[in-house]
């Protein structure tokens, strides 16, 4: 787990470093400040209301204790082990077998599962998945992903400014500017930011897998669940939502569409399974 935590720290630091360099080269201190404030405001609003937006997007409904008593019992037990408040439970009406966690902090957290996952997994496998989502809450991954999104968003905004600077002949500060360099900056900077952001997302998945295994004491149950979820997602991709929310889910629900590993929100499922099966608790 320490290796992946260190990786997240290094990637965030590098992402911020890219932002500082690009902002300074493009507009000096003022350009840097404007871009950062713009991205910060946009992403903080998104972070604060993310749970409501995502639940609405996936038509999630509260899981009543009467109908889903066993599910509530499992979440309560795992939350107690994780030493966090019990999150709210929601059901997503979709045959794709999946789950996600959202919410700005452990006191305002939500765990949502699809109808498909309740039909596909046995109880032990479902516990592993729930522990994975509760691990995201415990590890404050929503906050980490928001920080990454703020910086990446600011870099994209700076890249947009660079394109306009290239079109209109410079930065407007009296210095000569190279149009080719500005155009290259405007194209490569958002790609670099996206690659780093996706790498952070993948590292957090590995950490959540390991935390889940330690909470349940049974890494092989989560490994078995991941294989079933991967197979299901290929056969029955999610019918609602869009790719921009894929990082929330335990398995990419839109994995019917292949994408390069560098731009993937999740590690290869095989790598996750191998790590879980080799864990010694």
Domain coordinates of the chain in residue numbers?
2-277
- 174 burial via Cβ count (<10 Å: 0-12, 13-18, 19+): exposed
The per-residue pLDDT for 245 is: 79
pTM for the predicted model, two decimal places: 0.77
What mean pLDDT do residues 154-169 have? 63
175 pLDDT band (50/70/90 cuts)?
A: very low
* Predicted pLDDT of residue 173: 47
- Rounded mean pLDDT, 23-36: 60
For residue 49, pLDDT over 50 is answered with yes
Residue 133 annotated in active site? yes
pLDDT exceeds cutoff 90 at 179:
no
At residue 243's C-alpha, the angle toward residues 248 and 262, to 5°, is 85
Q: Which of 76, 119, 124, 133 is catalytic?
A: 133
Q: What is the mean pLDDT of residues 265-274?
A: 92
Q: Which of 151, 125, 90 is nearest to 230 (CA)?
A: 125
pLDDT on residue 145: 74
Instruction: Quick: pLDDT tens for 90-135.
Output: 999 999 999 999 888 899 899 999 999 999 999 999 999 999 999 9
Question: 154 in helix, strand or coil?
Answer: helix
43 compared with 135, residue with greater pLDDT? 135
CA distances from 221 to 132, 165, 225, 258 (A): 11, 54, 6, 26
pLDDT band at 149 (very low <50, low <70, confident <90, very high): low
- Whether residue 89 contacts residue 72, with contact meaning beta carbons closer than 8 Å, is answered with yes
- What six digits make up the tokens of 115? 């109808």
98 or 190: which leads in pLDDT:
98
Give residue-wise pLDDT tens across range 227-247: 999 999 999 999 888 777 788
Residue 211 CA to residue 66 CA, distance in Å, equals 29
- Measured CA to CA, the distance from residue 77 to residue 84 in angstroms comes to 11
pLDDT at 200: 82
pLDDT score, position 142 = 78
Residue 16 has pLDDT above 70, yes or no: no
């Amino acid at each position: 787990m320490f290796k992946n935590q260190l990786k997240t720290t290094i990637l965030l630091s590098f992402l911020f470093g890219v932002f500082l360099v690009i902002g300074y080269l493009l507009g000096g201190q003022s350009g840097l400040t404007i871009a950062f404030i713009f991205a910060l405001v946009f992403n903080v609003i998104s972070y604060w209301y993310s749970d409501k937006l995502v639940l609405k997007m996936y038509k999630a409904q509260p899981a009543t204790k009467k109908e889903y008593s066993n599910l509530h019992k499992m979440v309560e037990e795992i939350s107690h082990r994780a030493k966090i408040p019990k999150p709210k439970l929601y059901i997503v009406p979709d045959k794709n077998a999946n789950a996600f966690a959202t919410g700005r902090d452990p006191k305002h957290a939500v765990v949502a599962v699809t109808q498909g996952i309740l039909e596909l997994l046995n109880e032990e496998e479902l516990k592993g998945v729930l522990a994975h989502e509760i691990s995201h809450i415990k590890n404050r991954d929503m906050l980490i992903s928001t920080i990454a999104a703020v910086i990446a968003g600011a870099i994209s905004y700076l890249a947009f400014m660079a394109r306009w600077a290239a079109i209109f002949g410079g930065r407007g500060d009296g210095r000569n500017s190279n149009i080719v360099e500005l155009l290259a900056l405007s194209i490569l900077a958002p790609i670099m930011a996206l690659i780093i952001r996706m790498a952070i997302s993948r590292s957090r998945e590995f950490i959540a897998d390991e935390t889940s295994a330690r909470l349940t004491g049974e890494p092989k149950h989560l490994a078995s669940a991941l294989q079933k979820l991967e197979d299901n997602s290929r056969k029955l991709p999610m019918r609602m939502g869009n790719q921009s929310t894929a990082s929330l889910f335990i398995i990419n629900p839109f994995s019917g569409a292949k994408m390069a590993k560098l731009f993937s929100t999740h590690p290869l499922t095989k790598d996750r399974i191998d790590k879980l099966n080799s864990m010694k608790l």
